Amino acid sequence: MTSGDGRPHVVIIGGGFAGLYLAKGLRRAPVRITLVDRRNHHLFQPMLYQVATAALSPQDIATPIRAILRRQRNVEVQMADVARVDPATRTVHATNGQSLTYDYCVIATGARHSYFGRDDWEPHAPGLKAIEDALEVRRRVLLAFEKAEREPDPVKRHQYLTFVVIGGGPTGVEMAGAIAELRRYALARDFRHIDPREATVLLLEGGPRILTSYPEELSTRAKADLRSLGVDVRENTLVTNITAGWVEAAGWTIPTATVVWAAGNQASPLVATLGAPLDRQGRALVEPDCTIPGHPECFVLGDAAAFMHQADRTGPLPGTCPVAIQMGGYTARAIAADLAKKPRTPFRYWDKGQLAVIGRGHAVADIWRFHFAGFLAWWVWAVVHIAFLVNFRNRLMVLIEWGWSYVRYAPGARLITGETGEFAARHAHRSP
């Protein structure tokens, strides 16, 4: 079970939550680790919506993977896009033509958004998974206000000032709440010809309620809090088409220049190259030790895995940070057990609950048997999120940014970056 210098070679694909916590968990193990990621940074996805709504800057929630693992001597970080994993030959193939052989391979490549077969919707309704997505959404949101400011036609102006968020899960709820606050507080006094507070924010949910994974009373509370921020929450409103400038949903045509997609997920396409059984979202149906059938040396973790062996649950474990973190820690222990020639114990997820933020001072919490909402839930949310940021600089910067915006109602990252001229031309062409 060795390669190269005599130590077993562990190849980790993905420096997200699962991959990073696994690498850290193996810091004292007698293994050689290669962590491969297509990006050079670890991203704290739960705060992406704050970059998308100008509350935080990208560097506040992203940290170079090399910097995080700088002191860990048994890890080498490689920036590469992995195209394929071949469990039969124990080889990882990157798109740059390079390949790596392994003793253990861990696929922790997360998920992307899914448009349920309508990939043509993506250019009109970006989702939030990467820094680039958040910057694109921020650009579109802020540009919509700029264009409305100089638009004489009231019909077009209304279109620019209509923001549609699709999907009433935690990301959609957070995004709709943050846009509503941005227009009500931060932008309210910045314009001369429009009143940003008159902008419409719509949250469309296909199912009967928002936050379906939460108890019904918290869904109801979240809806009430969103309404108090001026968000128009529409349940049972299935989106049937998205085109440039329009959303069609439940027989209703909504003119809008800015749509955010928060409705579906699909596992990273790398998982399909393993030849293992998959669920409908393309996740690997893993064994109780998070490996794929017939390959105890090949693990799939986090959002890329469908773990169905938790006795107290029906269906797979949710795609959340705690699941990914715990799977990373478990896999480090499983590899260490192998090296010590001890049996592996099955993975078991310890569910600490769930939190969703709605706006400044408003959140809902479902923690063990306790369901609560409002300022206390928001405070718990803030503490937990700060605690899980990976380094001290990020924690400090986020605290300062939040403190400033909380006191001043003024998020500081309201910059429009990227190809604004090109966007403006394209956008003008798309408008009715």
Ligand X SMILES: Cc1cc2nc3c(=O)[nH]c(=O)nc-3n(C[C@H](O)[C@H](O)[C@H](O)COP(=O)(O)OP(=O)(O)OC[C@H]3O[C@@H](n4cnc5c(N)ncnc54)[C@H](O)[C@@H]3O)c2cc1C
User: Which positions are catalytic?
Assistant: 174
Contact flag: residue 109 with ligand X (CB under 6 A): yes
Per-residue burial over 343-376, b = 16 or more CB atoms within 10 Å of its CB, e = otherwise: ebeebebebeebbbbbbbebbbbbeeeebebeee
The residue from 180, 321, 377, 398 that contacts ligand X (CB under 6 A) is 321
User: Interacting stretch for ligand X, rule CB under 6 A, among 7-15, 192-200, 202-210, 234-242?
Assistant: 7-15
Task: Please identify the residue of the shown chain whose CB is closest to the bound ligand X.
Answer: 16
The residue from 12, 49, 177, 286 that contacts ligand X (CB under 6 A) is 49
Q: How many CB atoms sit inside 10 A of residue 166's CB? A: 28
Contact flag: residue 324 with ligand X (CB under 6 A): yes
Task: Please name the residue that has the structure tokens 């620019």.
Answer: 160
Nearest to 356 by CA among 170, 196, 209, 203: 170
Contact flag: residue 320 with ligand X (CB under 6 A): yes
Strands in 51-103 per DSSP E: 62-64, 75-79, 82-86, 91-94, 99-101
CA dihedral 371, 376, 378, 384 (to 10 degrees): -90
Burial of 160 (0-12, 13-18, 19+ CB in 10 A): buried
Nearer to ligand X, 111 or 148 (CB): 111
# residues contacting ligand X (CB under 6 A): 34
Residues 116-145 that bind ligand X (CB under 6 A): 128-129
Nearer to ligand X, 148 or 270 (CB): 270
Residues 70-99 that bind ligand X (CB under 6 A): 81-82
Residues 156-215 that bind ligand X (CB under 6 A): 170-171
Q: How far is the CB of 275 from ligand X (least distance, A)?
A: 16
Contact flag: residue 46 with ligand X (CB under 6 A): yes
The residue from 19, 87, 172, 359 that contacts ligand X (CB under 6 A) is 19
Per-residue burial over 107-119, b = 16 or more CB atoms within 10 Å of its CB, e = otherwise: bbbbbbbbbeeee
Per-residue burial over 5-21, b = 16 or more CB atoms within 10 Å of its CB, e = otherwise: eebbbbbbbbbbbbbbb
The residue from 25, 58, 319, 359 that contacts ligand X (CB under 6 A) is 319
Q: How far is the CB of 141 from ligand X (least distance, A)?
A: 15
The residue from 9, 10, 16, 161 that contacts ligand X (CB under 6 A) is 16
Nearest to 305 by CA among 292, 327, 286: 286
Q: Which two tokens stand for residue 276?
A: 């293992």
Q: How far is the CB of 46 from ligand X (least distance, A)?
A: 3
Contact flag: residue 25 with ligand X (CB under 6 A): no
Q: Are 405 and 411 in contact (CB under 8 A)?
A: yes
Residues 247-286 that bind ligand X (CB under 6 A): 268, 270
Q: How far is the CB of 40 from ligand X (least distance, A)?
A: 9
Angle between helices 420-430 and 131-149 (to 10 degrees): 60
**Residues lying near ligand X in the complex (CB under 6 A):** 13-19, 36-39, 45-46, 48-49, 81-82, 108-110, 128-129, 170-171, 268, 270, 302-304, 319-322, 324
